[in-house]
Structure 1
């Protein structure tokens, strides 16, 4: 089944809402999230849901007529080719069309460390849409972006690994985020910004015009491991709708 992700208007980032189960997925569907992102927040920044839960979510999404994008994280994995490939293929085999893979890159020699992993992922990138996730609090080398594009990745996101160490803007200045969004778009990739984002982060980040802004904690009752709050989700959605720039 080929699934096409509908991009939001170029000047307005879409809403990526991370959900932990089918009940939260229903809330996100009802709120009109642009991408529903399946993950287990209790297992870390990119904690993975069990295969059975992923398959159930895919079935529900298809039954709803695939009204949104659908992504899933593969778990927090070490930068090791066979391990990452196995986790990515397991997730892709559940039918999720967008597979998010975290890359904990070293401060130096990121390109050399990436090479064997990207080589291993190339065949899978021809079969499904892979999304690379880099971590702002690990000082990512943004010069690696063309390597992901060359390997066939569909998109790239910035997130944070340590959710207790502050949000995205605490780790990367706006100038670097502008460079990230511009370079990723120039390489033809989908772009996203996430990392403990709050309501007040929407205005400065939407001005950079990434394709998506990703949220979890800001949508929840009392933190990212609690349940999704429809009212909070609605406020984030409305704030994003109002951020249409020239």
Structure 2
């Protein structure tokens, strides 16, 4: 059953997402890029407000693929008490591998749940998936770096997504990137662990506008019905 991840920008939005039925409340700043980071104080306050009623996650920002910078950002975010830390992988293969190796001991030493975010519109390196699994990453997801209105499916077809999900077996998997209702109905059939959304639940479908609780609730109902349809098909 695919769960619903909703990205929020504040304590207020975190509570709206909670009331709307989000399974994972994800803190990020959409005005600062694909994975813009919120101030650590805001993340901490949101984690406290959610109070363990849902899983929380937060992004470390659109950072250069420097092992030192990435590790520093991970440990700063871990101090907020957030459940899951998301790292964007924007570099070439060599840079990305260096960062994976650098984060690996932090995961083991501090028992961190870390998600690698690969960018569907930047030639995502599926060859990293076995290495991420070996390094102890909790999960891996696909998103889009350029928020130009084109969805995940404009960059990767369903066959490519199926390959990604198959290669990521053993980790939690997420699919995101300007997804709309129609996209989601098709994607749920592929059974990712969760589906990530921001713009589709904001006023005017604008990812930098205010989150709308009614849109979260509507998407939550849609996802519930899609999951039920998938379960019924499996039993048929």
With the length of structure 2 as denominator, give the TM-score of the two structures.
0.93
Query: Equivalent residue for 1:173?
Result: 157
Query: Equivalents in 1 of 2:83, 2:13: separation in Å?
Result: 19
Coordinate RMSD, CA, aligned: 1.1
Unaligned segments of structure 2, at least 5 residues:
none
Q: Does 1:150 align with 2:139?
A: no
**2:192 matched to which residue of 1?**
210
Q: Where do 5+ consecutive residues of structure 1 fail to align?
A: 1-11
For residues 206-245 of structure 1, what are the structure 2 equivalents within 5 Å? 206-222=188-204, 223-244=206-227, 245=230
- How big is the shift at 1:242? 0.6
Q: Secondary structure at the match of 1:137?
A: coil
- Aligned pairs for 1:59-208 (under 5 A) are 59-62=48-51, 66-106=52-92, 110=93, 112-126=94-108, 127=110, 128-164=112-148, 166-185=150-169, 188-208=170-190
What is the aligned residue count?
226
CA contact (8 A) 2:90 2:119 kept: yes
Partner of 1:30, secondary structure, is helix
The Cα offsets for residues 140-180 of structure 1, whole Å up to 9 and x where unpaired, read as 12121011111110000000000105110000010010011
Partner of 2:33: 44
CA distance in 1, matches of 2:97, 2:220: 38
